[in-house]
Amino acid sequence: MSSLDLNRLFRQIFDRFTIKMLKREDDEQADDEYEKKIGQFRYNFQAVPIGAGTFGKVFKGRDTLNNDAPVAIKVISSDTLKKYKSSEELFLREINILTALKGPHIIELIKVLKSGSGNIYIITKFCNGGSLRDLLKQEKTLSEFRAIKILRQLAQAFVDIEKLDLRDDEGEKLTIMHRDIKPDNILFHNGEPLIADFGFAKTLVDSMKERRDMHTLLGTPDYMAPQILDERKYSYRCDVWSMGIVVYEMLVGQRPWHVSTDYMLLQNILSKPLKFPETNLISEEVQGLLKQMLEIEDDKRLNWKEVLAHPAIIMNKKFEIEQAERGKVKTEGGLEEQLPKS
């Protein structure tokens, strides 16, 4: 992408969301020894980051104009921007995508600031429940109901994105390919899962989303579809594969194929069929769903709407409704607890 195109993209982001340019004297002035001031936001720059995005660290901060409400501040330093000059399009693309995405299971963008020193700050909603990665470290595995409910909610999020009527400059309807779905990028807020970190996301013309094409090879290898690992053409169904790996990990406690190199990972995927350990009681319906989500051939793999229409998902939703009508749900320990009243 040329510098002219990049400037045009940045201009579009300004027009659509207004990235506030801070005056240099207002940039990162510390209220105390450890706290930085970014416009109306503050954060402790020496604190342990709560996460690491594609190109920057994420800190917990506070919004001084909103009763010190907690926020997440992704810091993309000017040094990082210079180091990855060729990836500048990705920085701008993430901001552009986040400004357009809305939904109960999509991370909420609050504001984007660019400092006088050249740093970019992406301010998003703070998620109080940590990441799915954190949860799996604590609990090792999740119940089938809980894992499939998370899948159902996130699959619905991607279907809802298709309903947002996003359009490009030519008026073509767009959809989103995330390309980096993994436990680290699934966050929880008040118990609800949200998709985060759209740093590798790409917009696709909706009518062309099923077509396999050569896209940039991005993502986390352990969760990459075999087409990406093999540097072949792939479609938006690569996200379904990634989510299938995540669901398997939630249920079993490890990924179905786990080796030390990308090459061996691809070879194992191609040569070793998907297996479920006998010690984990996974229903036939869920096993069938995962086999279809982890179908090696891209065009034979389920899409998001087909995931939602699968009997395992329908049964999960039906069970939740039945339990809600009774006013109770099953907890991870098998006990019953009252559903909170809305």
For the annotated catalytic residues, the residue numbers are 180
Q: Where do the H-state alpha helices sit in the chain?
A: 3-17, 78-83, 88-100, 132-139, 144-162, 226-229, 238-252, 262-271, 284-293, 304-308, 311-326
Residues ≥6 apart with Cβ < 8 Å to 326: none
- In this structure, the strands spanning 69-76 and 57-63 are antiparallel
Exposure b/e, 289-320, CB count within 10 A at least 16 = b: bbebbbbeebeebbbbebbbebebbeebeeeb
Q: Tell which residue, 293, 338, 281, has the closest CA to residue 145.
A: 281
On whether the CB atoms of residues 202 and 136 are closer than 8 A, the answer is no
Residues ≥6 apart with Cβ < 8 Å to 152: 308, 313, 316, 317
Amino acid identity for residue 188 in this structure: F
Residue 187: other Cβ atoms inside 10 A: 28
| Degrees, nearest 5: CA angle 185-239-175 | 100
Number of H helices, E strands in the chain: 11, 16
On whether the CB atoms of residues 257 and 263 are closer than 8 A, the answer is no
On whether the CB atoms of residues 63 and 71 are closer than 8 A, the answer is yes
Amino acid identity for residue 297 in this structure: E
Pull the structure tokens for residue 54: 């594609």
Q: Which helix H or strand E contains 37, and what residues bound it?
A: strand 35-38
